[in-house]
Chain A
């Protein structure tokens, strides 16, 4: 086969794989991935081949994840984006550990294609409504296996669901161990020694006679030898990096301003665009008078666009410099067509949620245990608590506003995109440009926060549409902060009615009926154009899977159809279900005459891991274990909350003062069990981060609508927590030998209920809606 033939053959193969991926995505959406012919699909190794991670400038690839550079550095493929969670450092640590090279010798390279980089844990571990008590049952294992296999076939490259380390834990270490074995074998052959007598230490290969060569010296031979058929991973007892604090590999660049975020890319010939986005939900562009704008200095063009991937319609002004585009945008005269939702207000939404909450429409029952609902109408000898909770829409508001840089040239697209999902960004860009997915190259710079906003691809499609009108120049589309807040995919507003039967000091029945929009339904419509089947685990996660041993349970959710765009917001359904459940438990505790910690402990006998986290936090807060919440002096109190999410468990004890209507957070103590910890320093950072994020939502966050428009605009009316209000945080990590589980989102859910429960204790008045009203 000639070179040309080989290239077109490779291209054919790739096109087929893209087609298969699209087919699988369709199958997943329509059938839940249950009727794909698995027998014909071969098993896939996630270590991959050297051809998947091509070397440049003399780099030698040993498999799909590892290359050795001429300077001896180890270059690793990193398909997960760095948005603050420290994933580049964690991946580098896993490889440095297994390959026995210094951490400082590991460099990361973002990768955005190849199925081996797909995130299987993100898809398989926390997307099904399976109760933790059922996980080991054969049917649950079969479903998980099937979903994992779907994940492998899809190869969906996505950073989300607090899944990056959990997903990489095996394949990345196996890739490093495989590279290590090949390097050792190459050196052994050179020295005519047994491989067992050769080792690698701090990046040097060491022979039986104390010969020493850097790994780079045997990399070429190692590549020729190829991967061994099986590898053995280091036992935990030999770890020298995993489990110990190590400096982040991005710390220097983030302290001297040289770190390159998406807004900082400067490809040759770059121009800029500012956008006017339709202010009304579901509206469209009417008439445009662009003459005054076009007359402004530096303006290169005016481009109207439709909304894609769930985004809204609008008009872009392209100019040589960004501020020229912004100034010209002020002169642009656009009339908008209102569409069907131009009268929608927050009052309408509240009314609809209330009607559904008290209505008769059946939703989906995610959990039924014991007598379920039948236990509730009759209080018997006890009492029935019947309480409603409510949370608002929330914006993501990452510090780096939505932006994307795109170039459309010669039938190809180049993206510099702050995306959490390269796979879907590629699909969106290809569709917008009218090219095949193979024709889209993606660079993913650092992200100035993501929190789920950048799982959407509306801004990618928009940038590509605009880039078709720049005469093949790259264009950087920058949203204003107002655009960012008004055109988000919000955390859904939700309401829940919780009921419980309390007999004496015990609670023996609990029911929840919650209402709100389904994120999954909207996502499937956006990605595949078809709705889901109405079951959406995200709506009730944290409720249906509660660890509390209450004999009679009934957990249902009713999907409500509303035109507000909703999406994944850090910790998703857990963000409000933890508030509902953990606040309700404190109300139950009062009704039962129990201490809140004592009540929780009594219900955790089936879940020792959760109990251990609770006991750890009470001990750390100085309450002992088993602990009790001390009495309040009417001005200051502690609040507790415990919540499991993304495979991990977090508990908070929050120390709150209330003086003349002013709330002060004195201290937050956190205990967390997230399995094996790769870098405890980064785990602590993520807890700090989750707490700051959760506090902004608990104290201030609320997106409101009027006349079909978002009323909030910038940080003056959508405030975030500032330094003066951030309490000291103490984090205690529960030691664990289990595989790593999530940490990025895990601290968010218990924040609001821990503050609310402290306030409840101080005032005697339960908090039942967010943001907290003082």
Chain B
């Protein structure tokens, strides 16, 4: 039995401890927004947050997530959509959409530690693969949210 905290809910799961977190999320918890792309940590379609940091859940044994906070695309919006999700729709980022959950989670983790990333920061952090070539709009969405947060920070009294 494995105890996992996913999107703020505690779960007890009957599975082998070595099962990759990806398959626990998809098959046991029915959180299918997190995608299987390569099974080797290469493509990032399975990106989730572990204590706020982006990890590739296809190569992370579920047991490594016990006692930590797991957040998936289903939990990215807390009440209101994450600003990235709004930007994603505004800029019409998605095409086939399969890699986009992972893209969004990687982008959200980047903005959490670096609210105003430059292009090099984005290139370094977003190594997810997209076969539809949404890269340009992914970059634009991250920059837009980053610029907005910089503007808000300036307007707020410190």
Contact = CB atoms under 8 A, between A and B. Distances in A.
A263 B45 CA distance: 13
Contacts of A227: none
A251 B88 contact: yes
Contacts of A696: 131
A715 B38 contact: yes
Given A251-B92, A400-B35, A481-B37, A261 B129 contact: no
A86 B95 contact: yes
A715 B45 CA distance: 12
Contacts of A251: 88-89, 92, 94
Interface string A677-696: 00001000100111111001
Contact of A250 (B94, B129, B130): B94
A236 interface: no
A321 B15 contact: yes
B98 A272 contact: no
Nearest to A679: B92
B32 interface: yes
A258 B136 contact: no
Interface in A459-499: 478, 480-481
Contacts of A250: 94, 97
Interface string A177-218: 000000000000000000000000000000000000000000
A726 B31 CA distance: 31
B95 A257 contact: no
Nearest to B133: A692
Contacts of B33: 256-258
Nearest to A447: B96
Contacts of B30: 266
Contact of A256 (B20, B81, B99, B132): B81
A538 interface: no
B39 interface: yes
Interface stretch (A50-58, A61-69, A716-724): A716-724
A688 B136 contact: yes
Interface in A250-288: 250-261, 263-264, 266, 272
Contacts of A322: 23, 26-27
Contacts of A693: 131, 133
Interface string A693-730: 10010000000000000000011100011111010110
B39 A448 contact: no
Contacts of A716: 40, 42
A247 B89 contact: yes
Contacts of B137: 688
Contacts of B101: 257
B132 A84 contact: yes
A248 B128 CA distance: 23
A121 interface: no
B135 A723 contact: yes
Nearest to A484: B38
Contacts of A692: 130-133, 135
Contacts of B88: 251, 254-255
Contacts of A324: 16
Given A321-B15, A723-B123, A256 B73 contact: yes
A82 B96 CA distance: 7
Interface size class of A (residues with CB under 8 A): 35 or more
Interface string B61-82: 0000000000011101100010
B interface SS class: loop
Contact of B35 (A84, A263, A451, A726): A263
B104 interface: yes
Contact of B34 (A257, A401, A449, A691): A257
A591 interface: no
A688 B100 contact: no
A481 B39 contact: yes
B13 to A, nearest CB: 10
A261 B98 contact: yes
B3 interface: no
A401 B27 CA distance: 17
A252 to B, nearest CB: 6
Contacts of A451: 131
Nearest to A324: B16
Contacts of B130: 399, 692, 723
B85 interface: yes
Most A C-beta atoms less than 10 A away, residue of B27, B38, B76: B38
B108 to A, nearest CB: 12
Contacts of A729: 136
A252 B81 CA distance: 11
Contacts of B42: 481, 714-716
B111 to A, nearest CB: 15
Nearest to B102: A399
A446 interface: yes
B58 to A, nearest CB: 10
A714 B135 contact: no
Contacts of B138: 723
Most A C-beta atoms less than 10 A away, residue of B31, B74, B89: B89
Contact of A448 (B89, B98, B135): B98
A297 interface: yes
Contacts of A714: 38-40, 42
Contacts of B127: 722-724
B16 A327 contact: yes
Contacts of B149: none
A397 interface: yes
A400 B40 contact: no
B15 A399 contact: no
B119 to A, nearest CB: 9
Interface string A523-545: 00000000000000000000000
Contact of A449 (B85, B92, B132): B132
A736 B17 CA distance: 60
Contacts of B99: 399, 448
B109 interface: no
Contacts of A685: 92, 95, 132, 134
Contact of A264 (B32, B104, B128, B135): B32
Contacts of A726: 133, 135-136
B139 interface: yes
A451 B132 CA distance: 10
Contacts of A86: 95
Contacts of B131: 397-399, 449, 451, 689, 692-693, 696, 720
A126 B146 CA distance: 46
B97 A446 contact: yes
Given A255-B89, A256-B77, 10 more contacts: A248-B92, A252-B89, A257-B31, A257-B33, A258-B33, A263-B32, A399-B131, A401-B36, A688-B134, A723-B139
10 contacts: A84-B132, A258-B74, A263-B35, A323-B20, A398-B96, A399-B35, A690-B133, A692-B130, A720-B129, A723-B128
